[in-house]
Each structure stands twice: as structure tokens, then as C-alpha cells.
Amino acid sequence: MGLVQDLQFACRLLVKDKWFTLVAVVALSLGIGVNATVFTFVNAVLIRGLPFAHPEQIMALSSRDVVRDRQMGVSYLDLKDWQASTQSFSALAAHSGRTMNVSDEGRAPERFSGALISGNGFALIGQAPARGRGFLPEDDRPGAPAVVLLGDGVWKNRYGSDPSVVGRTIRINDVPSVVIGVMPEGFKFPQNADMWQPLSVIRELEHQKRNSRGLDVFGRLREGVSQTQAQAEMIGIGQRLASDHPDTNKDVQPHVQTFNERVNGGTIRVVFLSLLGAVGFVLLIACANVANLLLSRSAQRSREMAVRVSIGATRWRIVRQLLMESLVLALISGVLGLGLAAVGIRLFDLATQDVGRPYWIEFTMDYRVFAYLAAVCLGTSVLFGLAPALHVSKSDVNEILKEGGRSGSAGMRVRRWTGALVIGELALTLALLAGAGFMMRNFLTMYRMDIGVETSNLLTMSLALPEQKYPAVEQRLAFYEQLQQRLDANPRVRAVTVASHSPMQGGFARRLAIDGKSLGDGEQPAT
């Protein structure tokens, strides 16, 4: 009953002192809102699991050059040896990105982002098609008839949700391919694929060199096997391969990490956690501001509280009343902050839909966000309510009644608390500003950096030639030379060039061979 009375009294006081309540709620709701927003991002990117059965068992495997300390893909021959040797994984599979040019009668050709995946890949993650069937082991064998799985978006937008498309033959990169199924809505594994074909469509895959490391490998741990145990076993397998194939596998070790860490680890993790720390500072500053307001308010009410103590109220009852006021303020601010967070999350979601984020990342609130929000509300109520509560608990009732106000030692105590809070605010603000300034300086440095490329009036175009039509290197070179000549002849074009990768888009490092000269590792030019 006492808590209900405290709640009613706290609500009456906050309604009576409208301006104080308004200022405090605005400051806290902004702090809580940005914290809830950023935590939603952290939850979606770093905490929430993959949309598969037992996602904690899904691991990403890569090759690691221990000398140069860099991660690489996996070769097909290494993958086969891993599959034959591992006891830690119930299954291993691989995928590789590929552009897919689709053409069929009655429709204009279209280009889609596709993925090549092992025949057991979808079974490994436990994902079945919504229509038709998935890949069978015989679909992934060299020389098998070409088949394709369509994404839900391709099925709806290109084929109008026609169920009869399953079983139809379409042309993928000029190769007739049978549509065997349609994947569920929203499914885009491994990240943003629209269509899938078996890994075996790669020409002469089984004859590729062991150091041709272009595959991304993933696997499912057996029940009861930890990531550490799997890593130890894979290192042993890597050492055996290094002994058997020293020319290609020397100083190369398998590396095991969670699938989510592979996609969202590294810089992304640092950025989001740093952002969460920064908005935490903002909330602490808001709490210090509200604590100062509450201190001033409690000092003004010091005589009222002294009278209540003198007529029988315990100090704990007074402190409890102040903490209840703080809790009500925090709850009101939490509700408003939740609304602000919902708006911010929606805007960020719309702004990042076309930036290529992994398909399973959805910026939505779940039980973790609400639990975090509840903890923040409770924590803030204690943080900004603690100073006035401690002030009241240590006040001399007789002295306050004699002085009749906030002068004397009680006033000095308030000023000490206020000074300490102001110093804390300044320290937090300076730390926040220093971090923001450092980030801004780095951003401006990158923005002003001379990349050696004049980007004004520069256009780029990506083109993927179908291997079936242009199987030989000479044929592809002849096509690009003819294309370049035709574009050069256009009077509106000043210059044309052809490259495997556009500037600043990254690429693959290649080793150069100079006729008649052998170069050591330290003499290799940067390429």
C-alpha cells in the first residue's frame, strides 16, 4: 500500500511541476531513445543469430596465410580433403558469388546476383525450397544437366508468381538450365543472392590447382563439438596437407569462426560497439543534468521533508519517495524514447535497404531490445535519483528546521553535489567530443585523400561474358577489344579502358612472372 501511495504522490508532484517534468523527460527520452536505437542495430548485427536451426553450430571456414597474416578462400581440392578428414563437422559445403544473365523466350534479358553452392549446402543449413525440390547430390557432379533454383523475388517479378515455371528450361549465362524450385520469400543465402546453381557449373572445377583459393566454405558442427575443438582438428588437417603438398599449402592453415562473425566481424563490430559506448555517454550526461535538477528541487523541498521526518516519517520513506519520482520520470521517458527509437530504426532501415546488408539482418525490436530498454530505465532512475536521495538521507533535520531553507551546511552539501555532477558532465562531454573529433578528422582525411583517380564524368559498367559462348581466353579478349574500339569511336566518349576491377573496388592479388628471371617473396612487385 505504501508503494501505491508513493506512486500517486510522485505523479501529483510531477504534474504540479510541469516545467521541471518537461525538461527532465525531454533530456532523458532523447538519451534513452538513441540508446535503444543503437542497441537495436547491435542486436540485429552482432547478437541475433542466423535464421537457421541451431545457428550456433554454423561455422565459416577459410584458409589463413600464417606468414602474411591474412585470410583467403579455400581451394576445391582442399575442401575435398577437409570433407574426407574432419570428424568435428557433420557436413562441409562451399559457395561462390556469380553474376547470372537470364534469358528466355518472350522476356527481355536480365542480370541477377547469383550464388553457386554445393549440392548439400541447403540441407546443411536446413533450408528447403517453397516450391519444387532442392539440389540433389547428382546435380552437383561434373557434367550433370544444368539446374537452377529461383529466389522468391525473381519468381514474382520476372515470372509473375507462375507456378508452372518449375520444370521450365531457361538460359543462365547462355546455358539451358532447368528450374527445379523456388526458395522461400526473403531467403538470399549466403548474403544477397537471387538465384542458385550447383557449384559444379564452374568449368573444370575438379581440375583447378590447389592454390586456387576462391571458395567460401561453411559447415555445421556435430552435436557437442565446440568451435575450439573444431579449430584444433582443422589445424591438424592443415598440417598434414602442408606436409603432403608443400608447394601450395606451406604456411597455410584452416581458420574456423562463426558464420555471423565472418560476415559482421572485424571493423563492423568495432564501429557498432563504439557507437553504443558513445550514446551511453550521452545518456550519462542526460542523467547528470536531471540529477542536478532533482538536487535543486530537493533543496527547495528540504523544509517540507524535514517537517515530514519530524512528525514521524522515516528517512527511508523519504528516500523511497524520491526514488519513486525518479522511476516515474524514467518510465515516462522510456515510453517516449521507445517511440523515438521506433522512428529512428525505421528511417535507418529504409536508408540501408539497398546497401547490400546480409538478408537476415532485420532492424526490428525483440525481447532483447525491450529487456535492454527496461534495464536502461531502471538504471537511469537509480543514477539520477541517487544524488538527491543521498543528500536527503544525510541531512540534519533539526538544522534545516532552524535555518528554514537551503542555507547553511545543507546548502553547502547541495553545492558540493552539484559541483561534482557538473565536473562529471564536463568530463563525459570532453571524452565524447574528443572521440567525435577524432572520428571526424579521420573521415575528412579519407574524404580529402587523393586516390589517384579523377571521378568527375567517369562512368563504369560491369559485364560478364557467358563461358558457354566465350570458352577461350582469346575469344574473350577479342570481344573486349572490339567493344573498346566501338566505344572509342563514339564522339561523346573521350577515353575507354577495360579492367578486371574498377578503381577502389578491390581485387585479387596476383603474382607476376618475368621471363628469364626468378623473383623471391620479398622481390614480388605489388599488383
Within-domain flag for 107 = yes
Q: Nearest CA to 292 among 386, 377, 376?
A: 386
420 grid coordinates? 561534482
336 grid coordinates? 517516449
Q: Give the pLDDT mean for 146-154.
A: 93
Distances (CA, A) of 477 to 110, 320, 480: 23, 81, 5
Are 242 and 311 contained in the same domain? no
Using DSSP's 3-state secondary structure scheme, residue 129 falls into: coil
The last residue of a domain, from among 226, 250, 274 = 250
Instruction: Tell me the average pLDDT of the chain.
Output: 80
Domain around 189: 68-250
Q: Give the pLDDT mean for 513-521.
A: 63
CA atoms of 52 and 48, how far apart (whole Å): 11
Within-domain flag for 491 = no
Whole-number pLDDT of residue 115:
93
Q: Nearest CA to 166 among 139, 134, 143, 189?
A: 134
Q: What is the DSSP letter of 92?
A: E
**Residue that wins the pLDDT comparison between 278 and 152:** 152
Q: Which of 247-261, 319-333, 400-414, 428-442 has the highest mean pLDDT?
A: 247-261
Whole-number pLDDT of residue 521:
54
473 grid coordinates? 581466353
* Reduced 3-state DSSP string for 472-501: CHHHHHHHHHHHHHHHHCCCCCCCCCCCCC
Directed axis angle between helix 267-300 and helix 302-310, to 10°? 70
Decide: 501 and 460 in contact? Cβ < 8 Å. no
Dihedral sign, Cα of residue 207, residue 208, residue 211, residue 217 = negative
Within-domain flag for 454 = no
- In one-letter notation, the amino acid at residue 303 is R
Are 416 and 343 contained in the same domain? yes
Residue 36 — φ and ψ, nearest 5°?
-65, -35
Cβ neighbors of 125 (< 8 A, separation 6 or more) are 50, 52, 53, 58, 189, 218, 220
Decide: 372 and 42 in contact? Cβ < 8 Å. no
Within-domain flag for 486 = no
Instruction: Identify the band that residue 303 occupies on the pLDDT scale cut at 50, 70 and 90.
Output: low
Decide: 55 and 49 in contact? Cβ < 8 Å. yes
**b/e per residue 137-167 (b: at least 16 CB within 10 A):** eebbeeeeebbbbbbbbbbeebbeeeeebbe
Domain count of the fold of the chain? 2
CA atoms of 98 and 467, how far apart (whole Å): 12
Question: Residue 178: pLDDT above 50?
Answer: yes
Whole-number pLDDT of residue 483:
87
Are 384 and 303 contained in the same domain? yes
Decide: 203 and 60 in contact? Cβ < 8 Å. no
Q: Is the bond leading into 190 cis (omega within 30 degrees of zero)?
A: yes
Dihedral sign, Cα of residue 503, residue 509, residue 513, residue 519 = positive
Within-domain flag for 337 = yes
Question: Residue 507: pLDDT above 80?
Answer: no
Distances (CA, A) of 97 to 115, 196, 461: 5, 9, 18
199 grid coordinates? 557449384
The last residue of a domain, from among 193, 220, 250 = 250
Are 442 and 405 contained in the same domain? yes
Q: Give the pLDDT mean for 308-323.
A: 65
Beta-strand ranges (E) seen in 147-194 are: 147-150, 169-172, 175-182
Are 174 and 271 contained in the same domain? no
Cβ neighbors of 352 (< 8 A, separation 6 or more) are 363
Instruction: Identify the band that residue 1 occupies on the pLDDT scale cut at 50, 70 and 90.
Output: very low
The last residue of a domain, from among 447, 481, 497 = 447
Cβ neighbors of 272 (< 8 A, separation 6 or more) are 38, 41, 42, 45, 46
Are 227 and 318 contained in the same domain? no
Instruction: Identify the band that residue 267 occupies on the pLDDT scale cut at 50, 70 and 90.
Output: confident
Are 114 and 224 contained in the same domain? yes
Within-domain flag for 296 = yes
pLDDT tens digit sequence for 424-474: 656 666 666 666 666 667 666 766 666 667 777 788 887 777 776 777 788
Whole-number pLDDT of residue 281:
80
CA atoms of 98 and 195, how far apart (whole Å): 9
What is the bridge-based pairing of β-strands 252-258 and 58-65?
antiparallel
Question: Residue 117: pLDDT above 50?
Answer: yes
Are 179 and 310 contained in the same domain? no
- Range of weakest confidence among 228-232, 297-301, 371-375: 297-301
Are 183 and 232 contained in the same domain? yes
Are 26 and 111 contained in the same domain? no
Dihedral sign, Cα of residue 358, residue 362, residue 368, residue 371 = positive
Q: Nearest CA to 176 among 73, 102, 96, 275?
A: 102
Are 83 and 198 contained in the same domain? yes
Whole-number pLDDT of residue 456:
77
Whole-number pLDDT of residue 419:
57
Within-domain flag for 352 = yes
pLDDT tens digit sequence for 45-104: 888 878 888 888 999 999 998 888 888 889 999 999 999 999 999 999 999 988 898 888
Q: Give the pLDDT mean for 379-396.
A: 68
Within-domain flag for 515 = no
Using DSSP's 3-state secondary structure scheme, residue 363 falls into: coil
Instruction: Identify the band that residue 393 occupies on the pLDDT scale cut at 50, 70 and 90.
Output: low
Q: Nearest CA to 196 among 296, 293, 96?
A: 96
Decide: 512 and 525 in contact? Cβ < 8 Å. yes
What are residue 92's DSSP bridge partners? Answer: 219
Whole-number pLDDT of residue 195:
94
Whole-number pLDDT of residue 447:
62
The full length of the chain comes to: 527
Whole-number pLDDT of residue 131:
93
CA atoms of 58 and 329, how far apart (whole Å): 44
396 grid coordinates? 540534519
pLDDT tens digit sequence for 397-435: 555 545 554 444 445 555 565 656 556 656 666 666 666
Are 199 and 229 contained in the same domain? yes
Question: Residue 517: pLDDT above 60?
Answer: yes
**Residue that wins the pLDDT comparison between 427 and 40:** 40
